[in-house]
Amino acid sequence: MKKVKLPSRSVYDGEEHGRFMEKLETRIRNHDREIEKMCNFHYQGFVDSITELLKVRGEAQKLKNQVTDTNRKLQHEGKELVIAMEELKQCRLQQRNISATVDKLMLCLPVLEMYSKLRDQMKTKRHYPALKTLEHLEHTYLPQVSHYRFCKVMVDNIPKLREEIKDVSMSDLKDFLESIRKHSDKIGETAMKQAQQQRNLDNIVLQPPRIGSKRKAKKDAYTIFDTEIESTSPKSEQDSGILDVEDEEDEEEVPGTQDLVDFSPVYRCLHIYSVLGARETFENYYRKQRRKQARLVLQPPSNMHETLDGYRKYFNQIVGFFVVEDHILHTTQGLVNRAYIDELWEMALSKTIAALRTHSSYCSDPNLVLDLKNLIVLFADTLQVYGFPVNQLFDMLLEIRDQYSETLLKKWAGIFRNILDSDNYSPIPVTSEEMYKKVVGQFPFQDVELEKQPFPKKFPFSEFVPKVYSQIKEFIYACLKFSEDLHLSTTEVDDMIRKSTNLLLTRTLSNSLQNVIKRKNIGLTELVQIIINTTHLEKSCKYLEEFITNITNVLPETVHTSKLYGTTTFKDARHAAEEEIYTNLNQKIDQFLQLADYDWMTGDLGNKASDYLVDLIAFLRSTFAVFTHLPRYLYVLSCYLALSPIKMLIPIAMAILSGCIRWNDQNDHSTSHYEAH
């Protein structure tokens, strides 16, 4: 092409354009002649071809007609097929759409199912499973279908659902806190019953040697009059200190704390707040609320000291509170810790001890104080089982022990006063062996001469001797009751009992005796009988020593063991009675001499004794007759004192005195006692 282009350009650029056109025309004419020659050579073949072509055209027309006819028939016959194919096409399209829809629904269905499950769990208040379902829904299912509009609504609603779960779980927790506040006394009562049962079971299985554990349960009210004890020995069965074992009563099964309290709200709320990342908020709220409840529980009612039930309810509430906290401590991880529990316990311990000191000071009934002590011991033992230190409670019980001793002394002051007021101050008459054994069973007394005498006969002392002796032992028993379960050594118990008994003898009983002796209307007979009674009570002090030794198992020879001062008490009372006798004798003799109206100037006496002498001798005889039961030394002194104002009649009086002394010697069997004086 390039080669042709160059000559053409040279032709048009030069001056040979005409010549070139001539040459070109010549060349065209030559080619036309060659074409004509060629056509003339092949004309016959061309004609034959045209003829055949015309024949073919006819056949082609026939074929066309046949094809058209066939097509028409085919179109007519395939019309239903086309319709069916269209229907099939639509079906295939629908099928494809349905399949796609099913696939999308299968993808959305788990989301809807989880959401429906979430709503059901919310409705049935299964908040912790609902929170788990919400987590799965948010992180597993919703991301797969996040482009759907309803999923966006769910995503927007998730924070609201979380807050709803959080609020509802907190509401359940508040209901739980309110419930345990109301029922803490029942929880505490159950825990204390369990501790009591366990302690009883331990006592049965182990049988520990406990002070006073052999003692039989005493009656609620102490006997003041006519204590009836069967014995044939001066050292009665009660004196031995060997007491019957208290029978254990069959107790019913006590339900456990978990049976009374459903802790699931706490666990659920704790898990929910932990999952939501607000565990610290929950812990602070729980501890704050429980501290408030602790302060309410530790506030005692104003009339708590009036009945034991007031103390019991107070202790039950405290025990119930700490049982719940201990359970929470061991069943949750970190909701409360030991430091928090110890802090609450320190506060509770100080407030409880302060409340007990205040209210126990109002108690004037020793039985109530004793019951309170037993309740405090059970309270302490129960909390000790849960690991709380209770040493301060036992220290406080030692303070209450002193108060208990004071209330006992006040009670026994009334008992002794009633005994002394109701006594007839006459020797006890017995008409049968049974009555004799009854008296010696109450009081350790032996007298061979009296045993040989036939019935009826009399003891030298009046009824207040065995009664006072029995009440002293009752007092010792009451002191022993308080010492039980205080974890004291036998020496400490023995020392406590002896000190309290000494106070009873030297203060309470001594004052009672002194008050009787100092009465204005007391007669010589009563004073004489008091001297005799105190003499026998003084002799019985060694039996009281042995009695205390037997029940405490501490020998008197033990170092630091206190001694009983009963001997001194009874000696002082006897001396006071003797002084009162001397004073009364002098007063009566002076009154006799001052009030008597005799004719001291008569001149004719004759053989008749003076009326003054007759009356004086009669007075002396009646007075000395009262002294016949006195010990000899006191009898002689009293008689000499009575005769001192009338020395001029000493010879006559001595004769009377000698006769009375012989009478006294016949009736006095305490010769060893006389020699001692």
Q: What does the pLDDT read at residue 613?
A: 64
Per-residue pLDDT band at 455 (split at 50, 70, 90): confident
What pLDDT, in 10s, does the model give residues 488-537?
A: 888 888 888 888 888 888 888 888 888 888 887 787 778 888 888 888 88
Same-domain pairing of 378 and 518 = no
| 624 touches 656 (CB < 8 A) | yes
Same-domain pairing of 351 and 417 = no
Q: What is the mean pLDDT of residues 347-355?
A: 91
**Averaged pLDDT score across all residues of the chain:** 77
Asked whether residue 659 is domain-assigned, the answer is no
Q: What does the pLDDT read at residue 541?
A: 85
593 pLDDT higher than 70: no
Asked whether residue 596 is domain-assigned, the answer is no
Q: What does the pLDDT read at residue 640?
A: 63
For residues 243 and 337, the model is more confident at 337
Asked whether residue 199 is domain-assigned, the answer is no
Q: What does the pLDDT read at residue 98?
A: 92
Q: Is the peptide bond before 456 cis (omega within 30 degrees of 0)?
A: yes
| 485 touches 377 (CB < 8 A) | yes
Q: What does the pLDDT read at residue 653?
A: 47
For residues 414 and 621, the model is more confident at 414
Range from 125-129, 390-394, 531-535 carrying the lowest mean pLDDT: 125-129
Q: What does the pLDDT read at residue 395?
A: 87
What pLDDT, in 10s, does the model give residues 179-203?
A: 888 888 888 888 888 888 887 776 6
- DSSP secondary structure, 312-376, as one string: HHHHHHHHHHHHHHHHHHHHSSSSS-HHHHHHHHHHHHHHHHHHHHHHHTT---HHHHHHHHHHH
Q: Which of 308, 315, 302 is nearest to 349 (CA)?
A: 315
Pair of tokens at residue 214: 């052999």
Asked whether residue 299 is domain-assigned, the answer is yes
End residue of a domain, out of 94, 109, 144: 144
Q: What does the pLDDT read at residue 493?
A: 86
| 131 touches 275 (CB < 8 A) | yes
Range from 88-102, 209-223, 377-391, 544-558 carrying the lowest mean pLDDT: 209-223
pTM of the predicted model over 0.85: no
The 8-class DSSP code of residue 485 comes to T
> Among residues of the chain, what percentage have pLDDT more than 70?
76
Same-domain pairing of 346 and 417 = no
Q: What does the pLDDT read at residue 491?
A: 84
Same-domain pairing of 473 and 524 = yes
Q: What does the pLDDT read at residue 344?
A: 92
Q: What does the pLDDT read at residue 558?
A: 63
115 pLDDT higher than 70: yes
For residue 31, give its domain range.
22-144
Same-domain pairing of 36 and 140 = yes
User: 429 forms bridges with which residues in the sheet?
Assistant: 458
Asked whether residue 253 is domain-assigned, the answer is no
Query: Percentage helix, strand, coil, to 5, in the chain?
Result: 75, 0, 25
Q: What does the pLDDT read at residue 90?
A: 92
| 311 touches 304 (CB < 8 A) | yes
| 400 touches 375 (CB < 8 A) | no
220 pLDDT higher than 70: no
For residues 472 and 39, the model is more confident at 472
292 pLDDT higher than 70: yes
Q: How many domains does the chain have?
A: 3
Same-domain pairing of 362 and 412 = no
Asked whether residue 251 is domain-assigned, the answer is no
Distance CA 589, CA 584 (A): 9
Q: What is the mean pLDDT of residues 234-262?
A: 47
Pair of tokens at residue 427: 């020797």
Same-domain pairing of 426 and 566 = yes
Asked whether residue 111 is domain-assigned, the answer is yes
Crossing angle (nearest 10°) for helices 490-503 and 541-552: 150
Range from 381-385, 402-406, 412-416, 599-603 carrying the lowest mean pLDDT: 599-603
Same-domain pairing of 431 and 563 = yes
The residues, ordered by sequence, that sit 6+ positions from 220 with a Cβ below 8 Å of its Cβ are 367
- Top mean pLDDT of 268-282, 410-424, 600-614, 622-636 is at 410-424
Same-domain pairing of 467 and 544 = yes
Same-domain pairing of 427 and 355 = no
| 343 touches 276 (CB < 8 A) | no
Same-domain pairing of 346 and 376 = yes
Q: What is the mean pLDDT of residues 30-42?
A: 83
Domain containing residue 496: CATH number: 1.10.357.30
Same-domain pairing of 468 and 559 = yes
Q: What is the mean pLDDT of residues 279-288?
A: 90
Q: What residue type is 263 in one-letter code?
A: F
Which residue is associated with the tokens 């295939």? 92
End residue of a domain, out of 125, 144, 163: 144
Q: What does the pLDDT read at residue 347?
A: 92
End residue of a domain, out of 144, 167, 191: 144
Q: What does the pLDDT read at residue 639?
A: 65
Asked whether residue 666 is domain-assigned, the answer is no
